[in-house]
A = this chain, B = another copy of it.
Amino acid sequence: MNQHVASGGLAEAIAALVSRFGDRALTGLSVRDLHAHDESHHPASRPDIVVFPSSTEEVAEIATIASRYRVPIVPFGAGSGLEGGAIPVAGGISLDTSRLDRILDIRPDDMIVRVEAGVRRQELNRQLRDTGLFFPVDPGADASIGGMVSTGASGTNAVRFGVMRENVLGLTVVTADGRIVRTGSLARKSSSGYDLTRLFVGSEGTLGIVTEVTLRLHPIPDAVSAIAGFQTLAGAVSAVIDIKRAGLSIGRVELLDEALVAVINRHETLDLAPLPTLFFEFHGNPESIAALSDIIAAIVADHGGTPLRWAKNADETRRIWETRRVALGWAKAERPGAHSWPTDVCVPLSNLADAVLETHADIRASQIPAYIVGHVGDGNFHCVFMSDPDDAQEQAEVHRLADRIVLRALAVGGTATGEHGVGLGKRVFQEAEHGAEAVAMMRTLKIALDPLNILNPGKILPDLADPLHSN
């Protein structure tokens, strides 16, 4: 087995951590249970100890101990991951970043901020509010910045402001053997040396432990939102593609399928037409939004859309996006006891309509409640199944349907995950997506930076001999 962890001295490591960190190194069952899972459907697996460092130097000490005793070390942020990235499948140390919660340096004139990895994005934006700037990447959950770096998060704003990769200027990273590496700079661009920053973005704690992050900020835009329903899902998707092709700058554009619109209408008073629907956000001053919105209304109409329904004020705009944020929670609540299983693929824009329609046909043919939402401006969509976790047959069916969605995306040159990360669920697709040579190169990098395989073992890279779904 290629990802073997030589678990030499677990007891010694625990003793060393407890001795060093006292009541910030906990082995009780309840705290270990809290660190045994994230928000995904993947099975829980307890760490042997949970440690709460409060500085980069303390993280380095933990790595030194983990390295000496060859014990796994798994970073844990907000626990909001959707692919099991923070689940300690091989036990060991759960490194909880919640005490790495300092906002270190707000530099409004440079439009950048430096934070510790455990800072949550909503708290960051609260602290930034007086500057007129914000950090735009919004995966929905109130994730930690370190977790967002590690999964390569994005979300509704990415079509306008880019994904994590484009908004991280630099990192502080602790290596497997406890050294402290600083990557990037405070400059907005650089051609200097290998791009270590981007190597760590999306690496899910398997190459190093992110402890500090320098982020780009953006001016808070004047935003106005609007809603349009469409006769068909295909019409909604192709309207978005035409808007992209026309070079029109949109803040957000989110697809919700008819089923999710029905959920919203049962829980809320937005009173939407019972149709596949796009939520739009436009940025700019009134003149430029007016100019933009006329063109967009014409494109929407061309594709069978209803007239744009505009938010009349900031409160209505907030309500539209709050509805988008919580709607899947309402959908889940409609099936008591259900777990949510979100898929997450991204395809070339020209394949998006087919990919969404084929997914829609799949879920219609199944009995399992499921909803399609999409950051369609990027070609990224989710099909979220609300399934009974105790019904093995139903779980197998969701697995089968989720695999079909991924395989269809890969068949057209897309990716197995647009923004949730590989974690446990997408490891089996790595070779199909990237090819054997690229995966071999990833493995070479992993071995070079973590020769003992103690950094979040069992994530991202497929086990060489594993058949599909043996993970």
Contact, CB under 8 Å: A219 / B194:
no
A435 contact set on B, CB distance < 8 A: 181-182
Return the contact of A447 from the options B180, B198, B285, B448 (Cβ within 8 A): B448
Q: Of A269-277, A397-405, A438-446, which stretch is located at the interface?
A: A438-446
A195 contact set on B, CB distance < 8 A: 152, 165, 198-199, 201-203
Q: Once the chains are docked, how many angstroms separate the CA of A188 from the CA of B346?
A: 7
Q: How far is the CB of A448 from chain B (nearest CB, A)?
A: 4
Scan A202-241; emit 1 where CB is below 8 A from any B CB, else 0.
1100010000000000111100000000000000000001
Contact, CB under 8 Å: A109 / B221:
no
Nearest opposing residue in chain B for A179, CB measure: B437
Q: Once the chains are docked, how many angstroms separate the CA of A319 from the CA of B179?
A: 53
A418 contact set on B, CB distance < 8 A: 187, 189-191
Contact, CB under 8 Å: A194 / B203:
yes
Return the contact of A187 from the options B246, B347, B439 (Cβ within 8 A): B347
Q: Is A416 an interface residue (CB 8 A)?
A: yes
A246 contact set on B, CB distance < 8 A: 219
Contact, CB under 8 Å: B189 / A194:
no
Contact, CB under 8 Å: A192 / B247:
no
Contact, CB under 8 Å: B165 / A416:
no
Contact, CB under 8 Å: B441 / A196:
yes
CB within 8 Å of B: which A419-447 residues: 419-422, 426, 429-430, 433-435, 437-442, 444-447
Q: Once the chains are docked, how many angstroms separate the CA of A221 from the CA of B246?
A: 9
Q: Once the chains are docked, how many angstroms separate the CA of A158 from the CA of B189?
A: 9
Q: Of A1-9, A330-338, A407-415, which stretch is located at the interface?
A: A407-415
Q: Once the chains are docked, how many angstroms separate the CA of A349 from the CA of B180?
A: 27
Contact, CB under 8 Å: B291 / A415:
no
A426 contact set on B, CB distance < 8 A: 192
Contact, CB under 8 Å: B349 / A110:
yes
Contact, CB under 8 Å: B438 / A181:
yes
Return the contact of A189 from the options B154, B198, B249, B449 (Cβ within 8 A): B154
Return the contact of A193 from the options B108, B186, B380, B438 (Cβ within 8 A): B438
Nearest opposing residue in chain B for A194, CB measure: B442
Return the contact of A110 from the options B110, B350, B448 (Cβ within 8 A): B350
Q: Is A126 an interface residue (CB 8 A)?
A: no
Contact, CB under 8 Å: B449 / A444:
yes
A433 contact set on B, CB distance < 8 A: 185, 192-193
Q: How far is the CB of A432 from chain B (nearest CB, A)?
A: 11
Q: Is A175 an interface residue (CB 8 A)?
A: yes
A207 contact set on B, CB distance < 8 A: 194
Nearest opposing residue in chain B for A351, CB measure: B110
Contact, CB under 8 Å: B413 / A186:
yes
Q: Which residue of A187, A196, A447 has the most chain B CB atoms within 10 A of its CB atom?
A: A187
Q: Once the chains are docked, how many angstroms separate the CA of A412 from the CA of B112?
A: 14
Q: Once the chains are docked, how many angstroms separate the CA of A218 from the CA of B295?
A: 18
Q: How far is the CB of A295 from chain B (nearest CB, A)?
A: 8
CB within 8 Å of B: which A103-143 residues: 107-112, 132
Q: How far is the CB of A281 from chain B (nearest CB, A)?
A: 14
A420 contact set on B, CB distance < 8 A: 191
Nearest opposing residue in chain B for A449, CB measure: B444
Q: Once the chains are docked, how many angstroms separate the CA of A454 from the CA of B442?
A: 20
Q: How far is the CB of A288 from chain B (nearest CB, A)?
A: 4
A437 contact set on B, CB distance < 8 A: 175, 179-182
Contact, CB under 8 Å: A192 / B107:
no
A145 contact set on B, CB distance < 8 A: none
Contact, CB under 8 Å: A187 / B287:
no
A447 contact set on B, CB distance < 8 A: 448
Q: Is A460 an interface residue (CB 8 A)?
A: yes
Some 17 contacts from A to B, beta carbons below 8 A apart, are A109-B245, A109-B349, A175-B437, A182-B434, A183-B434, A185-B413, A186-B348, A187-B379, A187-B380, A188-B349, A192-B416, A194-B442, A194-B446, A199-B445, A221-B247, A284-B288, A287-B287
Known contacts A154-B191, A191-B421; 18 additional CB pairs below 8 A are: A163-B189, A175-B437, A181-B441, A182-B434, A185-B413, A185-B415, A186-B347, A188-B348, A188-B378, A192-B422, A192-B429, A193-B433, A194-B202, A196-B438, A218-B247, A284-B288, A284-B291, A287-B287
